[in-house]
Amino acid sequence: MIGLGVDLVDIERFRRVLARRPTLVNRLFSEAEVAYANQQHDPTQRLAVRFAAKEATLKALGLGLGGIPLADIEVVRDGQSGRPSLQLHNRGAMVATEHGVSGWLLSLSHTDLVAQATVIAI
């Protein structure tokens, strides 16, 4: 194991941030992440848990916010099982390789109030 990261996001607070800065969605999330979230009754819950996963990924790499662009971290879903996993792109992929990361373990959970993500870099 290279690193472990955990992050929590207050969903209502995240909702207010997105309402104040609507262009933030396109800066933080991939088109696929936004499309998946928009299929749900409350897209903010799905976006918040993905934001938590991005921050947890930074922590697993030992980086702070801004260590790599959050858009370089993408939560993807297996087509058959729906199981979430991570794909890093561009600078994110480079940094992960430099840290010796060969894979990721990801767990996501949310309620109406809070979104949580745990990431293990292996």
- pLDDT tens column, 68-115: 999 999 999 987 888 999 999 999 999 999 999 999 999 999 999 999
- pLDDT tens column, 15-40: 999 999 989 999 999 999 999 999 98
Domain ranges of the chain: 3-121
pTM over cut 0.85: yes
The Cα–Cα gap between 82 and 38 comes to: 16
Q: Which CATH number fits domain 3-121: 3.40.190.10, 3.40.50.720, 3.90.470.20, 3.40.1160.10?
A: 3.90.470.20
Instruction: Give the distance, in angstroms, between the CA of residue 75 and the centroid of all CA atoms in the same chain.
Output: 6
The contacts of residue 29 (CB under 8 Å, 6+ apart) are 37, 47, 50, 71
**36 contacts 79 by C-beta, under 8 angstroms:** no
Helices 43-60, 11-20: inter-axial angle, 10-degree rounding: 100
